[in-house]
Amino acid sequence: MNSTNGRGRHERRGILVVDDDKLVRWSVRESLRGSYRVWTAESAEKATRMMTRIKHLDAILVDIRLPGASGYEFIQQVRAERPELKVFVMTAYDHESAPRQAFSVRADGYLSKPFMMETLHDMLASHLIASLPPARKIPQA
């Protein structure tokens, strides 16, 4: 059992990290993997393929600048196909317009790179805890 959220290893929230920067994917995965199941993809196209195979996916953390389809295009696709997923944007570009654009495609959260891993953890926890199923009551003897 994971003491931070009361869920077993196979019940941890699943997060797909989509970023073309290998170091970002690695850093985020290493930071999150104690609390979440984490998958990574370097493009929107690969992430789309992976989403069909991942059984328990709860959230996507996506960079805006990706090879091929942009992060915004990917988010629009995710919203059309999997509206229940939480979607978080991260980017190092367009600091003035990026938050507005992220929320225009209904992102649940936004991070400006570079960011502290603690900030990422806090954002994910605050958004994903709200979507936890209600706790089952244990009958008292």
Span 44-82, pLDDT tens digits: 999 999 999 998 999 999 999 999 999 999 999 999 999
Write the CB contacts of 132 (distance below 8 Å, at least 6 apart in sequence).
Answer: 5
Q: Round the average pLDDT of the chain to a whole number and report it.
A: 84
| 3-state SS class at 67 | coil
The pTM of this model reads 0.82
Say whether pLDDT at 134 is over 50: no
CA–CA separation, 107 vs 37, rounded Å?
21
Instruction: Go through the domains of the chain in sequence order and give each one's CATH number.
Output: 9-129 (3.40.50.2300)
> Is the predicted pLDDT of residue 8 greater than 70, yes or no?
no
For residue 28, give both structure tokens: 């985020």
- The amino acid present at 11, given as its one-letter code, is E
CA gap 78, 105 in Å, rounded = 10
